[in-house]
Chain A
């Protein structure tokens, strides 16, 4: 047994990442630029001894906070990542979005995130790959569907995620059958799947928000600075698109201060996604979004 709880979580995640890498020929990892998927990326570098041999996929809604894109590309170039992004260019062109006033928040999420994710993963829409020499994105020649998709979901985020397996099947329509999931025991995962279906892999399932921050502190992971208060008494607790993500009132300026705030401070009993407006619309439609493939 690993000696501390963080060690235990870290080693379990590393084991899962390597199992995914060994079993899926077309493997992608979703990188939202937020703290969870950045920890996931860091764990991949640990699993593969400094390398990240997995394609990282970012769904760019075009409404991300601009600092997120700059941070993404800086890290991608520095860590030599296989960086790919996808986008719902049609919805953006036709202004079918919430900020343009022609869609509800949930419809906007469904179009810019869920639709874009589905079609980027399946290869039906173009993918754009970062050329590490030029620093520019180019159309990706690989249009194969990804059969394994690694996601940074945690069981403690909200109800629907607590029912996930480490290796969780999605059918042809990206749908998740919550009622009939495969058994998972003794670190033997579902790695066989029918043609047209794919597997979502969840290495962070057992981590809590607090574990994530404690690990960021322990490993000194370069997390995006939107999470820190820069003197205005505000910081982001959860990152998303700027029209729907509000900062929280907090003066935590560093990782240790965030850890302290989560443990004993004002957020000890308040949910992480409380700043996400789309969760509140439609009586909390996250499980529906999730069944449809929302990460």
Chain B
């Protein structure tokens, strides 16, 4: 901690001046033309949240142009004024009740703007869903309801609008309420209130309506005030996706800080923690923050840093959990529900990236279980691809395992997005972990990590000293390729560059650590495990390790990745290769490539991966 900084003599002088009061983000959704803008215009006008004279000006303008006044015009008028510097905005509108301040996110009702609707709704804490009493439940009334459910918005009130057009008929209202309640029940949403309103006439907006005597429930304003702020969840298991491990050396700082945002639960100094999927274990030594009083405990919602007692090597993307609490799942296979927003469909066999928490991992669509027709009746359909605006139940296969929770157990670690090339093209929630083929290996690794004796040298310090990040470089390919020649040439090149590298041929292991494995064919998995463990020790020592091994396939690579995690694996594929998908980092060298061509390619790849760098 820096004791003295400009303008601040001591951290104990913190003044608590949070006078902003409570604020809540709500989103207004519904089918196009069902009256969302009128609802917002009315709320602004009737709560006195409009700039002085605005309402009269718009009314005067309408009278002058012989147009009937509409509250929706208010939003348009406000838009015009924004460019002149008045602080009310389009996508977000501000109003306040006697209880708190609101930001209203106006979500577009048109299907073309679904990604904007999703962006707006994902930021909201609660939603108002507007249905036209005369038109009844339409396509986007259902789709928006379904998306709200997937986005994790549980607090919803339904406004049955334009009641004046159906003569304030209780029968119409009841029939919409019954039908829509049935629909919401199927997607696990229980709406807080159904309110019959006429936003245009101002009925039931901020107080009871004389025209709707048969309704004695909440007005829109009262319903909005009845939404609850999400309470802290200190009793949920602790989860923190690791954003980074910082080792800043400036100003004599020798702290090594694991940073992230606590998504759930709480943690104290002294607690034992586990990093998944690599299974590294350590203990909280201190909680770090700048310009804050020293803390011994931190709750969800905060973005602290931690120093650890054991200096385990971990990367961004791992999930930090408490060893004593229920553990998340770790797998390469997940069953998920996805909604797709990409221009191109989500296709089987193509490569994408999945981002969950702070991890980003190559992913493929393995199977479509069924498509859900969110716009209609939640019917299940068969289809080969997941097209734009489709919602699907499917199986995803990740190139390596990640740690996550099922959405029913934990929200923040149970949802993800899918990136197609440069764009976020889909969102999804994890229904369950499916067993992959690495469970036994992972539990062996967990046992190893449990007992592993850690060096007192901080891994980042070792990396800074050697100007390299430990990496396994695996040279594989058919029998006829010169894997050994390439492997030795790489080792030599790295050595000449002043790097710390070492080459191992498979024979070095077969007659040493593998000498007891008699049946060479049957024990392939065990050979690989031992290769992985030997490699792991050398990577812990800080080496760039080069290994040549013939004919490895995808399964072998996954096993090696699991054993050496979180150290990276670069696979160099010589000539014909059995790899279908490969690891995360693969370099393909066609048959007949000369060593002198291959070596510079590998060096360039290592630089790109950040495995070798200049001081």
Residues on A lying within 8 angstroms of B by beta carbon are: 1-8, 11, 14-15, 18-19, 21-22, 45-51, 53, 75, 78-80, 155-163, 165, 181-186, 188, 190, 192-194, 208-211, 214, 217-222, 256, 259, 263, 269, 271-274, 276, 279-280, 283-284, 286-287
Contacts and interface: CB of A to CB of B under 8 A. Distances in A.
A183 B119 contact: yes
Contacts of A192: 353, 419, 421-423
B427 to A, nearest CB: 6
B424 A190 contact: yes
A208 B412 CA distance: 26
B355 interface: yes
B250 A186 contact: no
A214 B17 contact: yes
B110 to A, nearest CB: 13
Contact of A19 (B5, B91, B243, B424): B243
Contacts of A78: 5-6
B447 interface: no
Which of B52, B231, B261, B427 is most buried by chain A, counting CB atoms within 10 A of its CB?
B261
24 contacts: A1-B231, A2-B301, A5-B21, A7-B18, A14-B261, A15-B243, A46-B289, A49-B290, A50-B2, A50-B290, A51-B248, A155-B92, A156-B94, A159-B79, A163-B91, A184-B122, A188-B417, A192-B422, A220-B7, A220-B14, A220-B15, A272-B85, A276-B85, A284-B83
A165 B91 CA distance: 11
B7 A186 contact: no
Contact of B17 (A11, A218, A276): A218
B309 interface: no
Nearest to B86: A271
Interface string B8-37: 100001111111111100000000000000
B325 interface: no
Contact of A263 (B19, B23, B151, B422): B19
Given A11-B301, A15-B261, A50-B1, A219 B291 contact: yes
A161 B231 CA distance: 31
Given A45-B290, A158-B85, A284-B84, A18 B18 contact: no
B613 to A, nearest CB: 11
B477 interface: no
Given A49-B255, A183-B115, A184-B119, A218 B16 contact: yes
Contacts of B419: 192
A5 B22 contact: yes
Contacts of B261: 11, 14-15
B83 A190 contact: no
B90 A185 contact: no
Contacts of B435: none
B417 A186 contact: yes
Contact of A7 (B5, B118, B257, B301): B301
Contact of A159 (B22, B82, B289): B82
Interface of B: 1-2, 5-8, 13-23, 51-52, 79, 82-87, 89-92, 94, 115-116, 118-119, 122, 151, 229-232, 243-244, 246, 248, 250-251, 253, 255, 257, 259, 261, 288-291, 299-303, 305, 316, 341, 353, 355, 358, 412, 415-417, 419, 421-424, 427
Given A18-B303, A49-B290, A163-B91, A220 B8 contact: yes
A37 to B, nearest CB: 16
A48 B246 contact: yes
B11 to A, nearest CB: 10
B14 A157 contact: no
A194 B422 contact: yes
A269 B52 contact: yes
B243 A273 contact: no
A74 to B, nearest CB: 8
Given A181-B119, A210-B20, 20 more contacts: A1-B232, A2-B302, A5-B22, A47-B303, A49-B305, A51-B251, A51-B253, A159-B83, A163-B90, A165-B119, A184-B119, A188-B417, A218-B17, A219-B291, A220-B7, A220-B8, A259-B17, A273-B85, A274-B85, A280-B84
A273 B87 CA distance: 10
B301 A49 contact: no
Contacts of B82: 158-160, 162
B598 to A, nearest CB: 26
Contact of A217 (B15, B92, B115, B417): B15
A185 B427 contact: yes
Contacts of A19: 243, 358
Contacts of A286: 83
A51 B423 contact: no
Contacts of A161: 89
Nearest to A5: B20
Contacts of B94: 156
B464 to A, nearest CB: 14
CB-CB nearest 3 A-B residue pairs: A159-B82, A162-B89, A222-B7
Contacts of B6: 75, 78-79, 222
B205 to A, nearest CB: 23
A183 B84 contact: no
Nearest to A219: B291
Nearest to B249: A51
A150 to B, nearest CB: 16
B291 A21 contact: no
B244 A159 contact: no
